[in-house]
Amino acid sequence: MTQRASTAPCALPGTPLANARSGIDACVHCGFCLQACPTYLTLDDENDSPRGRILLMKAALEGTIPLESETLTTHIDRCLGCRACETACPAGVPYGHLLEATRATMLAGRPLPFVARMVLAVFARKPLLALLMFGGRITRATGLASLLGRLPGRLGFAMAMLASTRRPAAGGRRASADRQTATSEQVVLLTGCVMEGLLTETNRATERVLARNGFVVDGDAAGQGCCGALHAHAGDRATAQRLARCNIEAFERANPDFICVNAAGCGSMMKEYPALFDDDAEWRTRATAVAARVRDVSELLVHAGPAPAGPLTIRATYDAPCHLIHAQRIASPPLVVLRSIQGLDLVPLDGTEHCCGAAGIYNLVEPEVSADVLAPKLRAIADTGAAVVATGNPGCMMQIGAGLLRAGSATRVRHPVELLDEAYAKGADVSFPA
C-alpha cells in the first residue's frame, strides 16, 4: 500500500510523535483490530481501542487536543502495549512504535506516576537492582512473600508475584554439551534483570537445554544488564538508549554466534534496538548487527532439533507471551519444544494469544484493568485442567503465577525450557512446590 504524506498541520514538530507520523497515517480506520484488543474488550470504550488511540495521537499531533489532555493521557496510559493490534492489522500499522513515540512525547510535559518512576529508576541502576533482587529472594525464602501474597491490593499481588517465582532446587547441575550432534555454534545468554535476580534456576535450565542440544554455552557478556524495555515502553527513550548501548558493547565484546533470550519482552526489545537510534547512524549500525544475532531460546532449540526428552507425564498448557507471538511473531517454536517432551499431555489454551495483563509495570500502575484482563485468562487455564502453564516471559510467569496462587489453584507456571530441562534430567514425573 502506498502512503501519501499527510498535509495536515503539525503542532508538535521535532517530537518522536511527529517522526512517527507515517505510521499514524497508515491507519485506514477499518476496526479489524478492535476484537483483538484486551482493553477494548474489557472496558468497552472506543478510546481504549487501537483505532481510538491512534485518532487521539493524530489529534494531539495536529493540535486539536493538548498533550496534557486527560482524555489523551488516560487512554494512552491504559494501553497494555501488547501489540495484538499489530497482528490483526491488515494495513501494517506499527502500533508499538506509535505508542512508544506518543509516551515519549507526553513525557516531556508530564512526569510518570510515582510508582513507575521508582521502578524505572531502580531498573536503570545495577546496584539498586541487585539490592532489590536480593531483598526479593530473602522475602521469598522466609515465606513472607507467600504470607503477604494473601493480602488484598497492590502489595498483596506484588508479593504473590514474588512467591510465584519459587522453584525446586535443581542440585546445581551445570550446562554440558553431551549430545552427539553438536551444532558447535556459540551462544551467550542475556541473563536479564528479573530472570537472573528471581528466576536464576530458569536461566541455568536454559543453559543446560542449549548445551544438551549441542550449543556451546560457556561464555558470558561482561557488562550486560537490563535490556531497557520497561523504559522504552514508558517513553523514557534516553534511559532505554543508555541501557541498549551497554548491552550492544557487551555483546560486541563477547561476539557469539547467537544471543539467546529466554524473556520474550527482552528479546523483542533487543531485536528492535536499531529503532532506538533513528538519529544516530553509528549506533544504529552497531545495534543492527547485534539485533541480527538475537534469538528467542525456542528459536534456537527448534534450529537444533530439539533432542527428544521425557517421559514427563503431566498435563500442561501453553500461554503465548504477547512479545513473542505479536511483537516477534514467534508462535510455533515453543509448542515444538513442548511437543518434544514425550508423555506431556499438551492441551490448547483458549485465548492463548490474549494478553494476561502483566505488560511490564502495567499491573503496578493500572492494577484494576490489569486484574480485569487477567480474569478470563485464569478461567481459561482452569478449564484446561492443566497442572502446569508454560510461558516464556517473566512478567507473564509472575502475573499468571500470582493470579493462580491468589485463586487457590494448584496449577503452577513454568518456562517451557524448565519443563524440557526436567524431562532431560529426570525422565519421570516432576513435583512442584505448593
* Spatial CB neighbours of 76, under 8 Å, sequence gap ≥ 6: 53, 56, 57, 99, 102, 103, 106
- Judged by the rule CB under 6 A, the positions of this chain that interact with ligand SF4 are 27-33, 36-39, 50-51, 53-54, 79-85, 88-89, 91, 93, 95
Residue of 302, 308, 342 lying closest to 324 (CA atoms): 302
For residue 180, the 8-state DSSP code is: S
Q: Which residue, 83 or 140, is less far from ligand SF4 as judged by CB?
A: 83
Residue 64 CB, shortest distance to ligand SF4, in Å, is 18
Cis peptide before 38 (omega within 30 of 0): no
CA distance 27 to 248: 33
Residue 319 CB, shortest distance to ligand SF4, in Å, is 16
Q: Which residue, 306 or 395, is less far from ligand SF4 as judged by CB?
A: 395
Q: Which residue, 89 or 216, is less far from ligand SF4 as judged by CB?
A: 89
Residue 397 CB, shortest distance to ligand SF4, in Å, is 19
Q: Are 159 and 145 in contact (CB under 8 A)?
A: yes
Say if residue 266 is exposed, middle or buried (CB neighbours under 10 Å; 0-12, 13-18, 19+): buried
Q: Which residue, 203 or 268, is less far from ligand SF4 as judged by CB?
A: 268
Backbone conformation region of residue 339, classed left if phi is above 0, alpha if psi is from -120 to 50, else beta: alpha
Q: Which residue, 35 or 184, is less far from ligand SF4 as judged by CB?
A: 35
CA distance 209 to 301: 8
Residue 226 CB, shortest distance to ligand SF4, in Å, is 22
What is the gyration radius of the CA atoms in the chain, in angstroms?
21
Instruction: Record the cell numbers describing residue 93, joined without a space.
Output: 500499522
Q: Which residue, 5 or 410, is less far from ligand SF4 as judged by CB?
A: 5
Residue 81 CB, shortest distance to ligand SF4, in Å, is 5
Q: Are 268 and 327 in contact (CB under 8 A)?
A: yes
Residue 135 CB, shortest distance to ligand SF4, in Å, is 31
Residue 331 CB, shortest distance to ligand SF4, in Å, is 17
Q: Which residue, 49 or 146, is less far from ligand SF4 as judged by CB?
A: 49
Strands (E) in 180-314, as ranges, are 187-189, 258-261, 294-296
Residue 98 CB, shortest distance to ligand SF4, in Å, is 9
Q: Which residue, 29 or 117, is less far from ligand SF4 as judged by CB?
A: 29
To the nearest 10 degrees (0 to 180), the angle between helices 200-212 and 416-425 is 60
Residue 89 CB, shortest distance to ligand SF4, in Å, is 3
Q: Which residue, 60 or 162, is less far from ligand SF4 as judged by CB?
A: 60
DSSP for 135-163, please give it: HHHHHHHTTHHHHHTTSSHHHHHHHHHHH
Instruction: Record the cell numbers describing residue 247, joined without a space.
Output: 548491552
CA distance 357 to 373: 5
Query: How many C-beta neighbours within 10 Å does residue 150 have?
Result: 13
Q: Which residue, 355 or 417, is less far from ligand SF4 as judged by CB?
A: 355
DSSP for 291-328, please give it: HTTEEEHHHHHHHH-PPPB-----EEEE---HHHHTSS
**Phi, psi angles (nearest 5°) of residue 258:** -135, 150
Residue 367 CB, shortest distance to ligand SF4, in Å, is 16
Q: Are 369 and 357 in contact (CB under 8 A)?
A: yes
Residue 404 CB, shortest distance to ligand SF4, in Å, is 23
Q: Which residue, 52 or 403, is less far from ligand SF4 as judged by CB?
A: 52
